[in-house]
Amino acid sequence: MAYRNVRRIRRQQMSNARRRLDQQLTAMILARVILFVLCLLPYIAQSFYIMN
């Protein structure tokens, strides 16, 4: 019985660690996308200004 409890607790800890890593990865990707859009914004605005 104790062996099963230890295995169950260990699996829960692994899933929590995996979930935390997934959240960190999602936050990093979102930050990179936002930074990419912010860096491209001046070039897009300039190209629209030149076309008109």
- Domain positions in the chain are 1-52
Alpha helices in 1-52, H assignment, sequence order: 2-51
Rg (CA), the chain: 23
pLDDT tens, the chain, 52 aa long: 777 877 787 777 778 888 899 999 999 999 999 999 999 999 999 999 999 8
Q: How far apart are CA 51 and CA 41, in angstroms?
A: 16
Burial class (CB within 10 angstroms; exposed 0-12, middle 13-18, buried 19+) of 48: exposed
pLDDT of residue 43: 94
